[in-house]
Amino acid sequence: MTTIASRLQAVRGRIADAARRHGRNPEDISLLAVSKTWPAAAVRAAAAAGQRSFGENYVQEAVAKIAALADAGLDWHFIGPLQSNKSGEVAMAFQWLHSLDRAKLAQRLSRQRPATLPALNLCIQVNVSGEASKSGIDPPALDALADQVAGLPGLRLRGLMCVPEPSDDAVLLRSRFARLRELRDGLNGRGFALDTLSMGMSHDLEAAIAEGATIVRVGTAIFGERVYPRP
């Protein structure tokens, strides 16, 4: 077995263990393999081991990889901050965007999503860490943004995403993830039907699964330490 295949198996084992520990069905949690900075060959190795969904943060790098792997039948999720002038490439090449944080971006994506493709799946990224983080919208702005996204053609709002501040404190992390779940439940109470909580990474996926994660985004534990910093 390749290193990537055995690491993938270990991550799947962690997901299954955490799910069982918290009375959840492991099949309700999908694994997004975060392949940013890794070459197409690493993605192929993961795909050969059964992995279908991959996450990317940098538009140019991702678009080249998606083209190189067009024969492989993979799902691509954009998970990093997205500049408006790059939205067209995401609208054309990806199945999901996890980092929606403004209405203007949703309006652009809606106009740019080709009518020949299924709707682009969206998660709104929420800042659940207060001043300890800058990414995502603040919780009080969530209802208004969700209302603005709902009904835009070519888009389908699926749920919420968060990246809590790095911490070894499992209690703190669980409180952040619980907050995202409560915000999702609040929107569903207002008539949305959101089925996705994108939360949990290599070091905190257990805490996220304990609080209801349906997608965990895992890079390092599958591909190894990222070896070079990105601009």
Contacts with ligand PLP, residue ranges (CB under 6 A) = 34, 36, 57, 79-80, 163, 201-202, 217-221
CA 208 – CA 223 distance, rounded (Å): 20
Q: Which is nearer to ligand PLP, 82 or 145 (CB)?
A: 82
Q: Which is nearer to ligand PLP, 79 or 109 (CB)?
A: 79
Closest CA to 30 of 16, 40, 42: 16
Structure tokens at 181: 């779940």
Q: Which is nearer to ligand PLP, 146 or 201 (CB)?
A: 201
Q: Which is nearer to ligand PLP, 79 or 194 (CB)?
A: 79
Altogether, the residues listed in the chain come to a count of 231
What minimum distance in Å lies between the beta carbon of 134 and ligand PLP? 13
Q: Which is nearer to ligand PLP, 34 or 93 (CB)?
A: 34
Q: Which residue is nearest to ligand PLP (CB)?
A: 219
What minimum distance in Å lies between the beta carbon of 163 and ligand PLP? 5
Residue 147's CB: how many other CB atoms inside 10 A? 14
Q: Which is nearer to ligand PLP, 31 or 152 (CB)?
A: 31
CA 13 – CA 144 distance, rounded (Å): 39
DSSP 161: E
Helices (H) and strands (E) in the chain, counts: 9, 8
What minimum distance in Å lies between the beta carbon of 98 and ligand PLP? 7
What minimum distance in Å lies between the beta carbon of 79 and ligand PLP? 4
Closest CA to 153 of 180, 104, 177, 119: 119
What minimum distance in Å lies between the beta carbon of 135 and ligand PLP? 8
What minimum distance in Å lies between the beta carbon of 115 and ligand PLP? 29
Q: Which is nearer to ligand PLP, 32 or 157 (CB)?
A: 32
CA 228 – CA 230 distance, rounded (Å): 6
What minimum distance in Å lies between the beta carbon of 53 and ligand PLP? 13
Residue 94's CB: how many other CB atoms inside 10 A? 25
Matching residue, tokens 């993830």: 177
Pairing of strands 75-78, 215-218: unpaired
**Distant-in-sequence, close-in-space partners of 150: CB < 8 Å, separation ≥ 6:** 157, 192
